[in-house]
Chains A and B, each alone.
Chain A
Amino acid sequence: MNINKPKISHLGDSSIVVRFSDKINSEDNDKVYSFYKLIKEKNYSFVNDVIPTYNSVAIEYLQSEKTFFEIKELVKSLTDELSEIKFDYEKKIIDIPVKYGGKYGPDINFVADYCKISREKLIELHTGVDYRVYMIGFSPGFPYLGGMNYKLVCPRVKKPRINVPAGSVGIAEQQTGIYPIDSPGGWQIIGKTFLNLFDLSNKNPSYISPGNIIRFRED
């Protein structure tokens, strides 16, 4: 998929989704942030929110002011305008100490069994790489990380949990992430960090920003 020809669809009657690819990779994520930045800079009065994800950007607009087709035309002209793919990542390395397994990581044995590796190997593989923060979503401050070792790929839990405690570190498919606040969730939980990842007394309540580099280590 070319940046100039993204797939555009509605998601309900007041949101539009602009999709640049179906994959997770840093090039497509760069396209997302270039477009995200452009829309944010325009500061349109009829735009309520702009949400970047792995490979798409969602725009929430006021349907009392613009129709879907008007927004779609606007998006087309903006992607044409977008010749340069540029996003200044804040390449800050964030160190996250994690207590793996036990009561903090109830699914660690399931993941190890599913991946046919030992618990020790799982921790080694999970702490062994630097992760790129592709997006923040799901719940306040929740970072979606890319770059996980393919040997750790495993499905979500069949039935989402009602409550996953703050700080829990999880795996789902090719993704790994941290739950910054208590919330329901469907990821396999392998450990927990005691860092406060979401704090309303800070100017930016989210400890982690898109573009950061996350490094897990065993606590």
Chain B
Amino acid sequence: MPYLRVTSPGLFSSVQDNGRDGMKSIGISSGGALDTQSYSMSNYILGNSKNDASIEIIGGGFDAIFSEPTFFCVTGAHAKNYLDKKLILSNTPYYASSGSKINIGILEDGWICYIGIIGGVQSKKYLGSRSVYINSEIFGERIDKNTKINYMEKKYSPKPKIYRIKNEYTNLSISNEVTSIRVLESTEYNKFTEKSKKLFFSSIFTISDQYNRQGMRLNGPEINTKKDNHDIISNYVNKGSIQVPGDKMPIVLLSDSQTTGGYPKIANVISVDFTKLVQLRPGSKIRFVLTDIVEAQKIFRKNNKYIEHNIYEKKLEKISLKVNGSDISFGYLFGDNANLIDIDGRLLPLDFIKEL
């Protein structure tokens, strides 16, 4: 089976899909991609199935070599990315030949990239998902140097609908600015002092470097409960829950969150802003803004529509060729420095044209 051999794994890289739902009653976290929006785009761009697995790269600095030709794309954080030392665009499909080198370079905006491969990454499925779980190796291992990431053999693209996504569309925030994150009151909101509630919404919190797929610790003013007791009878928690343990510093639970927890929760990040939050790197500053459930669910629906309208098929210049004295079908190029051509709905590498 073709594989991508990793020469530099970066800070933390792993295979992710939409995760495992429906098993929290036996304590199994849903897991899955952190920035679900950029992950979904990696499949959408290549015409993959919705739950095909991609490579999640946290913090950049990832290098790998393709063993066999395939099609791929990079979504998420903006970075200087290269294919065989040529700069490539985000949200655009590319053709990789045998021995092609991909490099996810220095991050500009954002913190997490996804590499999508046509047909999806072919790693082992555990309980219906390929998502690797950070707290244990029960669902596969993180990507390391020399890890071989399998993908499907493809002579040509079987699904011609390959898209490019407008670069203007992004859930990335500008570095150095304070990002507003909208939240809802949580189940233990009223256990906190009035002063702490006020501080929670008026202060700026910094994302600490204690940040992994399970949770993100924040630095800021102390957030205290009325009884100065930060232990509760353990109950349900989910991704986006902001819990405050005994050291009074909030923790935002992320995709590999535990399923129940024993610290009081002050708030929950709304789904749309969750993808914005995880794209912030350690050291970034955030401010929490209170919203209500009606508004949060409206924002969710509006965002879904927004994504639909901002994805479009990129059709650039027409190509016409004469082969053996007769015209052949027309096609389209993807992007300014793209290396793909669509001929009668079959996606082919540009090099193919040169050979004709």
Q: Which residues of A contact B (CB under 8 A)?
A: 9-15, 17, 19, 22-24, 36, 48-56, 58, 60, 63-64, 67-69, 135-142, 144, 155-156, 158-160, 172-173, 175, 181-184, 186, 198, 200, 204-206, 210
Contacts and interface: CB of A to CB of B under 8 A. Distances in A.
Interface core residue of B233, B240, B258 (most chain A CB under 10 Å): B233
Interface residues of B, number: 50
Contact of A139 (B135, B245, B246): B135
B325 interface: no
A13 B136 contact: no
Given A54-B234, A183-B135, A184-B214, A135 B187 contact: no
Q: Which 9 pairs of residues, A with B, have the shortest CB-CB distance?
A: A137-B260, A58-B236, A12-B268, A13-B296, A206-B26, A181-B136, A51-B24, A183-B135, A68-B293
Majority-rule SS of B interface residues: loop
B126 interface: yes
Contacts of B300: 13, 63-64
Contacts of B186: 11
B304 interface: yes
Contacts of A51: 24-25, 236, 259-260
Nearest to A143: B27
Contacts, number: 163
Contacts of B259: 51, 137-139
Interface in B223-249: 231, 233-241, 245-247
A159 B261 contact: no
A140 B25 CA distance: 9
Interface core residue of B27, B28, B231 (most chain A CB under 10 Å): B27
A139 B27 contact: yes
Given A58-B236, A156-B262, A12 B21 contact: no
Contacts of B301: 64
Contacts of A58: 24, 235-236, 238
Interface core residue of A15, A64, A155 (most chain B CB under 10 Å): A15
Nearest to A66: B297
Contacts of A198: 138
A138 B21 contact: no
B199 interface: no
B184 interface: yes
A21 to B, nearest CB: 10
Interface in B14-48: 21-30
Contact of A172 (B24, B262, B271): B262
Contact of A200 (B138, B234, B237, B269): B138
Contacts of B23: 49
A49 B22 contact: yes
Given A13-B293, A200-B126, A136 B25 contact: yes
